[in-house]
Structure 1
């Protein structure tokens, strides 16, 4: 369709965006609409810094979270193009020391399996909480992460495996994932405002602060201290992402320069595995979802929609395009887990495609209310977390103190302060409230810590529900408190 037709259909877009922002309580937003190599609409709305009343513009940097996964898949495709790897050759062929928890997966897993989330490994999100390990160490410790599904049985989203993909890229090529993205994607696309760290972002002048909804309204929250690597460590702006979407719409070519063959781009955008019910929001207009290579593929009201969202502390992103219609949309918001980016994208697609309007605002407001209630219920203590009287003297607090270790998650230290215990995990500190002689609860009521004894009655381990889809993670008590190897 001609550019002029799409432009005519976008009348009133700015006023609608401003109205919807107020309804979703989002302080700042940036939006871009792309057609082939042209940007039809690009603008900032609201504030990137509420306290200082600083406005968002098209070069304001936001974290995009998992929308970065499509960049990682593109790097893998570039390595396929250069003959450095094959999608369907076992990873062990390129990195002989590669090991997973499951022996079959160790021998058979490919980069295609990793890039379409069918490894059997779940998120293992706590592994990346303020990590102390290098990429190489994390790669070596993959073998200690328990899968939650049999290898290739079904789609299961895994930040852990996309992080590992970045580690493998560096291990195989000698070049860090970040350098691959910078040299082969950011630079040729002119993505001059994009980077890979909070430190880099905040060293500049034009970046958004992260926000979330608090009891008394919108509140600034800390930037994340977690490291997502190739699973989500990209910070960028709509001006830069417009070029990224244009590259997709033009089948791997940008302003006459080809970055990737059409065949490989189409492979990235083709379904590889079905996403089962319950994993994503499903509406009648999008009855089935699949995952390609770093992208989600839907049929939206009869039109193929390729997209990937992203969430980070205080930020939500939507990056999408319709290949056959040659249009794409980017929406970046500075509020945690907001449905506004998806809501606006679907509303804009309806306008661009001249579809009968749908009350996406009403639908997503309902979904957001459900999500907020679920979060509140999850954060509510399961029972009053009140200290109990002192233990039987046969089980003094000193029994529990010491250093505990898991080969992938690292170390936890249990301290005693008077008649109380506390747990230290990296920079996370929490008091422990006794429930009985083996079970304690963190002071915020969010997690139970269970201790186990050996036949002699000595504490030998503790376990935590750090990954809900597998058995609790067991940390073994160390004889030498400094042992965290």
Structure 2
């Protein structure tokens, strides 16, 4: 940690400052447990260590206790040369789903929609490949990810695509399961919900969220348009995102996905998401939503691996404590929210670095959120490991060895003088294997990863270019063999 502080004077100043409260004017006076602040030095030390070990450019954290945000602070830099603050903007990724679920619940409480009604009641044109299944998918199933829509369902393409285009792209999708049977996390579920919000409310999803959620909670740093978030004069301006390239963060600002706001593209700050958690942890009803409505949102209804999915939240345990939580991952941002409802404690961690490939890095922001939440109930934060560096180092070395081996093989083919039936058969087998490998790189691997080549190049350039190089070397080997045979 000392080396990190020497190299980051702004971070050192941040760690030296006492935590300042962020007041919510509309909320009751805070009733925070007196020992929460005693954990802050250990938490800040843990954050600094995680940033150093995992080469994280910027992090923002907010901690909520009862009816107020008692701590909100930024660490590191935003990629534009400025310090990250509690008001710096981050792309929320799948944390956007909790906002969409809240919008749906608001409309349900106003009797404008029914949770168990078919989605086609509100979107008559919505369908998947099976017409019968299309008619059976309900709003509740979309909220629970039990509609049967697959995780890797195709997306709409085109520069001017809209939310409606994304939903219409599901028209030829074959469901993985019958509606209402199995939980399969799939972002398109919340795109359909966003389209329902638009039809039922009579306004765009962005306009509805801004007016009915962000404004009432005074979330002034939360945005639905990246152009606003990029205003450098705005205190809540958007940080640049970063992608890991062989374990090192590289600035990468990706196009804003305005067509995917309901599931992955809302923008907010740690301070604002703290306000959002305060609203979620209220024990009384409010103009935003009734207490019963929030309880329904947080109650798991779709069992999965280690948790039960609720409405835009996961209902499970962290540090042996009942927790309601949700993370968000996009290629250049990651974050997570954690709540202990019975203790009325909450934590949000936002980071400005990620990767399009879920491996080899664990979602560090998720680990940080869990560990900080556990620290609030007396669990000592663990010492961060160097696994991140070792993994990236090992994978980078493996990539280099594969390329060197292919170059060696290509050189051997170029110099080859072998002949005879056995050599001929071996050559044919090698040609077939190389062609199969190139086809796998071009089509199979992106499909399995659920990423287009554009997404790979933008979000995981090290992996993408390695695949391109090894595929090119295989094609060169095929070409040399074919020329020799001719």
Aligned match for 2:248, one of 217, 231, 235? 217
- Which whole-Å CA distance do the structure 2 matches of 1:165 and 1:258 have between them? 22
CA apart distance, 1:269: 0.2
Task: Say whether 1:296 aligns with 2:296.
Answer: no
Aligned match for 1:448, one of 443, 449, 464? 443
Give the secondary-structure state (helix, strand or coil) at the position aligned to 1:203.
coil
CA contact (8 A) 1:307 1:320 kept: yes
Q: Quick one: structure 1 residues 375 and 123, their matched pair in 2 at CA, closer, same or farther if it must change by over 3 Å?
A: farther
Aligned match for 2:213, one of 182, 185, 193? 185
- Which whole-Å CA distance do the structure 2 matches of 1:309 and 1:467 have between them? 22
Q: 1:75-474 alignment to 2 at 5 Å?
A: 75-124=103-152, 127-128=155-156, 132-205=160-233, 206-215=237-246, 217-226=248-257, 227-251=259-283, 257-276=286-305, 288-337=306-355, 339-355=363-379, 357=380, 359=382, 361-362=384-385, 366=387, 441=438, 446-448=441-443, 466=447
Residue by residue over 1:255-292, the C-alpha shift from the partner in whole angstroms, topping out at 9 and shown as x without a partner, is xx43101111101100111113xxxxxxxxxxx21110
Give the secondary-structure state (helix, strand or coil) at the position aligned to 1:145.
coil
CA contact (8 A) 1:305 1:320 kept: yes
1:8 is matched with: 38
Moved more, 317-326 or 244-253: 244-253
Residue by residue over 1:388-447, the C-alpha shift from the partner in whole angstroms, topping out at 9 and shown as x without a partner, is xxxxxxxxxxxxxxxxxxxxxxxxxxxxxxxxxxxxxxxxxxxxxx989x98958xx742
Q: Quick one: structure 1 residues 138 and 119, their matched pair in 2 at CA, closer, same or farther if it must change by over 3 Å?
A: same
- Which whole-Å CA distance do the structure 2 matches of 1:81 and 1:375 have between them? 53
Root-mean-square deviation (Å): 3.4
- Which whole-Å CA distance do the structure 2 matches of 1:439 and 1:346 have between them? 43
1:65 is matched with: 93
Which consecutive residues of structure 2, in runs of 5 or more, have no partner in the other structure? 1-30, 356-361, 411-430, 451-486
Q: Quick one: structure 1 residues 189 and 371, their matched pair in 2 at CA, closer, same or farther if it must change by over 3 Å?
A: farther
- Return the structure number with greater strand share: 1
Which consecutive residues of structure 1, in runs of 5 or more, have no partner in the other structure? 277-287, 387-433, 450-463, 470-485
- Which whole-Å CA distance do the structure 1 matches of 2:158 and 2:396 have between them? 22
2:82 is matched with: 54
CA apart distance, 1:171: 2.6
Residue by residue over 1:21-54, the C-alpha shift from the partner in whole angstroms, topping out at 9 and shown as x without a partner, is 10111011111111122222111101012xx531
- TM-score w.r.t. the length of structure 1 is 0.71
Give the secondary-structure state (helix, strand or coil) at the position aligned to 1:54.
coil
Give the secondary-structure state (helix, strand or coil) at the position aligned to 1:55.
coil
Moved more, 73-82 or 223-232: 223-232
CA contact (8 A) 2:331 2:354 kept: yes
Residue by residue over 1:105-153, the C-alpha shift from the partner in whole angstroms, topping out at 9 and shown as x without a partner, is 2121111100111111123365156554333343334221222333333
- Which whole-Å CA distance do the structure 2 matches of 1:8 and 1:468 have between them? 43
CA contact (8 A) 1:212 1:219 kept: yes
CA apart distance, 1:225: 4.9
CA apart distance, 1:83: 0.4
- Which whole-Å CA distance do the structure 2 matches of 1:187 and 1:376 have between them? 50
CA contact (8 A) 1:125 1:467 kept: no
Residue by residue over 1:178-213, the C-alpha shift from the partner in whole angstroms, topping out at 9 and shown as x without a partner, is 111111100000011111233332234432111122
Number of residue pairs matched by the alignment: 388
CA contact (8 A) 1:339 1:368 kept: no
- TM-score w.r.t. the length of structure 2 is 0.71
Residue by residue over 1:441-474, the C-alpha shift from the partner in whole angstroms, topping out at 9 and shown as x without a partner, is 58xx74238xxxxxxxxxxxxxx964678xxxxx
